Structure 1
Amino acid sequence: MPSHIIYQGPSLLDGQEIIVVAQTKTSNRKTGDMVQTYILRADIDPISASRTGQDFSICGNCPHRGKAHDGDKGQAKDRTCYVTLAHGPRSVYAAFKRGVYDTVTGHEAIKAIGKGRMVRIGTYGDGAAVPSYIWDSLCEDATGWTAYTHQNGVDGAATDPKRFMTSADSKAEAAAAWAMGQRTFRVIADVADVVAGKEILCPASDEMGKRTTCDLCGLCAGASKKAKSIAIVAHGTSAKKAKALVAA
């Protein structure tokens, strides 16, 4: 079975029940051959969670969540996250509800899933919502990982600057993180916004000619890598809104 539930329990952000599904096969051309991990509410589909604001359990304070509303359809208003909820997240949630995935528990069993692979912590969702021992196990024998968090300073969140890139949405936020020795991943509106000497453009981005894939690059691994921070021009279906947000 190519996908497994490796955690089902309370979110560290608000205590609501969440799941982590580790997907060992992927067709994602940007990331390449990585173990993908989806962090989802266990009791509500991702689109409804977005619309009602219950995605806080897995996204926390991320400003790209958008604004909850009282409608009965669709996602949050003004959502700028590049992840398309109707694709991977909804499919994974539906499969979970159908009982497709087995549950893998224990350090050795979870470690085996990541062995010899690159791991993407939070294909959807913020890895800091999940107890750190899950990622400790999954990444112990992995060749590397990528991880990002918006939850620095949030009570209870399992942020670790050696594991996570700090997601920054302005130069000021990035500078504050750099001052604390953190590496950042920053969405920018234009290539000209890159801070020389501090950041480089994502090597897997369109602007860099997609010269590599995330599984071969591996730079987005927090302060465990002695490298400059990473910036990427807003992309995806909400790129226009995202550019407006980061340019504000």
Structure 2
Amino acid sequence: MAFETVIIYQGPSLIDGEEIVVMAQRGSRNRKTGAMLQTFILRVDVDPVTASREGKDFSICGSCPHRGQAHDGDKGQAKNRSCYVTLAHSPLTKYKCFKRGGYAAIEGHAALAAFGKGEMVRIGTYGDGAAVPSYIWESLCSEAKGWTAYTHQSGMESAASDPKLYMTSVESEVQAKEAWLKGERTFRVIADVSQVVKGREILCPASEEMGKRSTCETCGLCAGASLKAKSIAIVAHGTSKKAAKQLVAA
């Protein structure tokens, strides 16, 4: 099945000024998210696997602790990377097609709004949306059904990490409580369901622990402080769940 993909932004990262590109794809085979409009944020000059290994993914992931540690090897990704996104799948495929000139670019509010119309938008399928000027997401989501968004850049002055748009991604209860005091909603990766803070957090309805009773497309709770709802916690999952559990348990 082919999904329509377009370039919605190419320009400097708000994190470090390096050139990045954002591709938006209508549709997905991801069972957890459902058929959301997916968005991929990548470096223009280096493929995502190499960017991870060399630490150049800072441009699109910033301070996210799940990036792992860069190294000087000649292959592979960063050491101890605990991000659930498999770089050699969609991110690398998107990068290669982009470099071949396989995607058209759309510009302006009307075009972005039309592409997102009626969709549930996943801001940052790979990459942190706060690396991208906020007007891109505002236009893309202006006629959408809704969105999900997460950021690790809430403390970075240059990044566009509006808490009304983003869930604040945290790895500890201490970090979560600090964010709650500022009126932010959080998305927290935990090692075990016993770590959920009762009265403030709920388990992700799309998670295995909750019986996958929903998808991100139908749930829509991860829309930052635009919603008056409890924060979300999820047990480390995906191909790097062991490393993620070690990170959040540290």
TM-score w.r.t. the length of structure 1 is 0.99
Q: How does 1:23-102 map to 2 (within 5 A)?
A: 23-102=25-104
Number of the residue aligned with 1:141 = 143
Counterpart amino acid of 1:156?
A: S
Partner Cα separation in structure 2 for residue 206 and residue 96 of structure 1: 34
Q: How does 1:1-248 map to 2 (within 5 A)?
A: 2-248=4-250
Task: Map Cα deviations across residues 57-85 of structure 1 (whole Å, 9 max, x no partner).
Answer: 00000000000000010000000000000
Partner Cα separation in structure 1 for residue 244 and residue 155 of structure 2: 23
Task: Map Cα deviations across residues 85-111 of structure 1 (whole Å, 9 max, x no partner).
Answer: 011100110110111100000000011
Q: Alpha-carbon deviation of 1:153?
A: 1.3
Counterpart amino acid of 2:139?
A: S
Counterpart amino acid of 1:213?
A: T
Counterpart amino acid of 1:184?
A: T
Partner Cα separation in structure 1 for residue 232 and residue 197 of structure 2: 10
Partner Cα separation in structure 2 for residue 209 and residue 156 of structure 1: 39
Partner Cα separation in structure 2 for residue 29 and residue 235 of structure 1: 14
Partner Cα separation in structure 1 for residue 66 and residue 110 of structure 2: 35
Q: Alpha-carbon deviation of 1:25?
A: 2.1
Counterpart amino acid of 1:210?
A: K
Task: Map Cα deviations across residues 174-222 of structure 1 (whole Å, 9 max, x no partner).
Answer: 0000000000000000010100000000000000000011010000000
Partner Cα separation in structure 2 for residue 120 and residue 102 of structure 1: 20
Task: Map Cα deviations across residues 125-154 of structure 1 (whole Å, 9 max, x no partner).
Answer: 000000000000000000100000000111
Counterpart amino acid of 2:42?
A: L
Q: Alpha-carbon deviation of 1:7?
A: 0.0
SS at match of 1:185: strand
Q: What is the percentage of aligned positions where both structures have the same residue?
A: 70
SS at match of 1:12: coil
The number of residues matched between the two structures is 248
Structure 1 residue runs of 4 or more that deviate by more than 6 Å after TM superposition: none
Partner Cα separation in structure 2 for residue 95 and residue 219 of structure 1: 32
TM-score w.r.t. the length of structure 2 is 0.98
Partner Cα separation in structure 1 for residue 119 and residue 43 of structure 2: 26
SS at match of 1:121: strand
